[in-house]
Chain A
């Protein structure tokens, strides 16, 4: 199986002039993308970066993020893409835990320099967006002028390619380790069921630092497509105009993406006739939204999908023609993947019996970075314990039925309640805190905090939110804050989140 860097090289040779990436007024063809990646690899080599060492990419979706990704791989390095919206309190533990040697970030980033100052050993800083970097950093332009490696070596299939942090700015950061073979296998399976080829083009709004966005990026580069980066989901009309103008054949989103588009833009008034497929992952989409999407885009095949970062990205997809007959299902395992449901005793469950969803395949991660205990907890006997609950029907279609973890899914983001709780508890006057996700029509879930306040502190909701704003990415700031006298707890003192969720839902009920 060809690894992703080999596929990019192949496209640079066979179609050097074809547009690879379009970002606003800028674009880059396959030959230039490849030569830029080789230059970046040469720069890393010149900095003394050795195979296996980590390069953190703290960038929004942009051409430089892709050059740095492939260039790092050509130098044998491991990329660590980090959420560019995060704050210094997030970056510092991630960078420390991954023991990164190089950090690539944008010139107007204020939180990365603050995080770097907190580290025991300062990595090499490379700044995108300025021709002249400060004395303690290098400029992107300088890196692009480096002598490319004399001979590019495609990495070993089993070598580590990427570490993706799924959570844990407090406590233990969890970095999912994905090999080059993991990424190639998942890309090949996705390319197969979407039937992607070089005639496709996709407009993407999904961040590359999440597994879904990364899979969209790499699958389309692997087949030699044009990938159009847009940042303006905030302006849905402009996004739809991009889809029409670029004659995009594909579009990928999370449920909230489609709710925004359907609610704000009359899709039928735009020429989206080239759009042959749409993919949806990142949490369950309401059947009503799926129905509206099909009515608005009758020519597009709609793929409902399920996956995990621990499985590179994708585990199952529902064949579009089964949307009616298998409503609510996330479909069949993709090529090379097996799904098994196990009951409480660990035995294989019969069809229609809800149990723990297990997965096996060439896309399952190597483990969590430098955390054998956490790795052993989810990787057992060659199977990935997903943490999701569900059942298989008689045809082997997977239906999800909840999750054991407390992770909140808001828009395209995953938020662990602990991250928010740890930030809020730092505010003097907060006695106790518990954070949950509550249902939201657009975002799937939004964050709600229950706080017990020291009466003498005079804290207001606005003060708590302002405190969060300084410490947390905007999507982690609670939309609702409720002051309570006490929090419901178990005998051992653990907060009963389920009780808070149930109480909130009960109040919303008519």
Chain B
């Protein structure tokens, strides 16, 4: 399973409580549609830090990095060694 799939699974299971991959599109805003609220975002960040051994800096907590599965996938990829 690649990173995108792993991240999507986490979002589906923990915020939408489903395994239906059609429940959210990779480009959908997770914040705007209410999928993730402020505490949910902290849980997501904690999960990413644990799962990928990365450190999310405060300045990186912005919509460009976390507002969609696409954005999160790209962000995680940028944090991992090439």
Contacts and interface: CB of A to CB of B under 8 A. Distances in A.
Interface of A: 85, 232-238, 256, 260, 264-266, 411, 442-443, 462-463, 465-466, 468-469, 473-475, 477
Contacts of B2: none
B59 A466 contact: no
A306 to B, nearest CB: 24
A316 to B, nearest CB: 28
B76 interface: no
A475 B37 CA distance: 9
Contacts of B59: 237
Nearest to A238: B62
Contact of B39 (A238, A443, A473): A443
B13 interface: yes
B17 A462 contact: yes
A469 B16 contact: yes
Nearest to B19: A462
B61 A236 contact: yes
B62 A235 contact: yes
A237 B13 contact: no
Interface string B28-52: 0001001111111110000000000
Given A234-B31, A462-B17, A474-B34, A411 B61 contact: no
A260 B45 CA distance: 14
A233 B59 CA distance: 14
Given A264-B58, A474-B34, A469 B17 contact: yes
Contacts of B15: 474
A265 B57 CA distance: 10
A235 B17 contact: no
- Could you say which interface size class chain B belongs to? 20 to 34
B37 A237 contact: no
A443 B41 CA distance: 13
Contact of A234 (B16, B18, B38, B58): B38
A103 B6 CA distance: 41
A98 B9 CA distance: 41
A311 to B, nearest CB: 28
Contact of A466 (B18, B31, B40, B62): B18
Q: Which of B36, B61, B66 lies at the interface centre, i.e. has the most chain A CB atoms within 10 A of its CB?
A: B61
Q: Which 9 A-B pairs have the closest CB atoms?
A: A466-B17, A465-B17, A234-B38, A234-B41, A233-B38, A237-B58, A469-B17, A466-B18, A235-B61
Given A235-B66, A442-B39, 5 more contacts: A85-B34, A234-B38, A237-B61, A466-B18, A469-B18
B37 A234 contact: yes
Contacts of A442: 39, 42
A220 to B, nearest CB: 23
Given A462-B17, A475-B37, A232 B58 contact: no
Contacts of B37: 234, 411, 474-475
A348 B30 CA distance: 52
Contacts of A443: 39
Contacts of A85: 34
10 contacts: A85-B34, A233-B38, A234-B31, A234-B37, A236-B61, A237-B59, A238-B61, A265-B58, A442-B42, A462-B17
Q: Which of B36, B38, B41, B58 lies at the interface centre, i.e. has the most chain A CB atoms within 10 A of its CB?
A: B38
Contacts of A237: 58-59, 61-62
B71 to A, nearest CB: 12
Nearest to A257: B38
Contacts of A477: 17
Nearest to A475: B37
Contacts of B34: 85, 473-474
Contacts of B42: 260, 264, 442
Contacts of A256: 38-39
Contacts of B35: 474
Contacts of A463: 17
Nearest to B35: A474
Contacts of A260: 38-39, 42
A260 B43 CA distance: 12
Q: Which of A235, A238, A474 lies at the interface centre, i.e. has the most chain B CB atoms within 10 A of its CB?
A: A235
A232 B31 CA distance: 9
A266 B58 CA distance: 9
A249 to B, nearest CB: 24
A463 to B, nearest CB: 8
Nearest to B60: A237
A236 B63 CA distance: 11
Q: Which of A238, A266, A442, A469 lies at the interface centre, i.e. has the most chain B CB atoms within 10 A of its CB?
A: A469
Contacts of B36: 234
Interface in B64-80: 66
Contacts of B41: 234-235
A93 B42 CA distance: 34
A238 B39 CA distance: 16
A473 B37 CA distance: 11
Nearest to B33: A108
A364 to B, nearest CB: 33
Nearest to A263: B42
Contacts of A469: 16-18
A475 B34 CA distance: 10
Nearest to A269: B58
Contacts of A264: 42, 58, 61
Contacts of A411: 37-39
A282 to B, nearest CB: 14
